Structure 1
């Protein structure tokens, strides 16, 4: 998700990045600046969140770096980001898994899109997410990780069923809104 500060947009890496603007059905409309998509009234765009599970029903959560502009230190599914134009959700997820956690495709099986939903959430006065978010899931067969501290503040393996059914037991995890929606929809 977005990390740029409008006041310093020229100095931030996201000021030069683009995202894919989409309609509510995830049909491509245009390519837009990533910072503009996350500020002002926002622009609906394509995003993804990925959940990696181990063989015992635990989900790998990643804490967003404190340097992130939106939702710093909040806990997310395993990775979340935006595909670039002409990049599939699976390819974008594979790329982010490698960049953020050092996880390569030989460490997981059956990476697939399991859901898609639209949401819009503001974060304080810093910006917003207005996205059509694909949810991808896979089973991690090798739990070796190499988190990038610029992206990841911490990691935790959490029993997924207990997290979904007893959110109150995990109040120490301030969850990103897209991850909470993905979990709720996974149970519907």
Structure 2
């Protein structure tokens, strides 16, 4: 395992939550992604950023080969977690803690300077709940906040996190995925197949009006 990624697994503390996104405590990133003997993975809070430029092209990333979960797969712009051991990332009003975490990770993974994106630029539109067994050792079980940003930014890739990026137009994404034979992260695949990404993409000009912070979109998961 890459030593940098291994350190993140041990040092980062993610928020453990229930199915209604209520915080129950925290655990290491590794504990939150280990597939247990019964096949379960601890439910934790996450986010997924979809960043579009002024031409409404979506910035896709290919995850680095060093990543513990889903290496070398294509995904949306940035995916990670608000952390319990970082100040103010627990603030829940208007998803401010998650937005702060998103800005932090955009800088860490893609070199986007924090002054380039404000909290107001980060539009929280929905939450999704999904589960995936990954490689059988490390998997996912998250309620992820969908954050949409429309901004032109400067990039400087952290190759320990991201191997390549590409801006893709709305009418070219199917062709891009087909021609590259791209293997997607499970959440990205779900959002494409179920039409969520297309709906948000088609409505970028009024994306703030589409925000639904009450409903959690559940993919193949039943709530109690």
TM-score normalized by the length of structure 2 = 0.72
Kept after mapping to 2: 8 A contact 1:69/1:126? no
In the aligned structure 2, how far is the partner of 1:27 from the partner of 1:166?
A: 39
Q: Distance in 1 between matches of 2:8 and 2:152?
A: 33
C-alpha distance in 1 between matches for 2:115 and 2:181? 32
Alignment partner, residue 14 of structure 1: 9
1:32, distance to aligned residue in structure 2 (A) = 1.5
Instruction: Please give the alpha-carbon distance, in whole angstroms, between the structure 2 residues aligned to 1:115 and 1:170.
Output: 30
Q: How does 1:50-89 map to 2 (within 5 A)?
A: 50-85=49-84, 86-87=88-89, 88-89=97-98
> Any stretches of 5+ residues in structure 2 without a counterpart?
90-96, 200-224
The answer to whether the 8 A contact 2:129-2:143 is kept is yes
The one of 19, 23, 27 aligned to 2:22 = 27
| Mean CA deviation greater in 122-131 or 71-80 | 122-131
Computed over aligned residues only, the root mean square deviation of the Cα atoms, in angstroms, reads 2.3
Of residues 136, 150, 160, the one that matches 2:170 is 160
TM alignment of 1:31-46, pairs within 5 A = 31-39=26-34, 40=36, 41-46=40-45
Q: Which has the larger radius of gyration?
A: 2
* TM-score normalized with structure 1 length: 0.85
CA displacement, residues 14-63 of structure 1 (integer Å, 9 cap, x when unaligned): 12321101111211111112211111122100001101101112100111
Aligned residue-pair number: 179
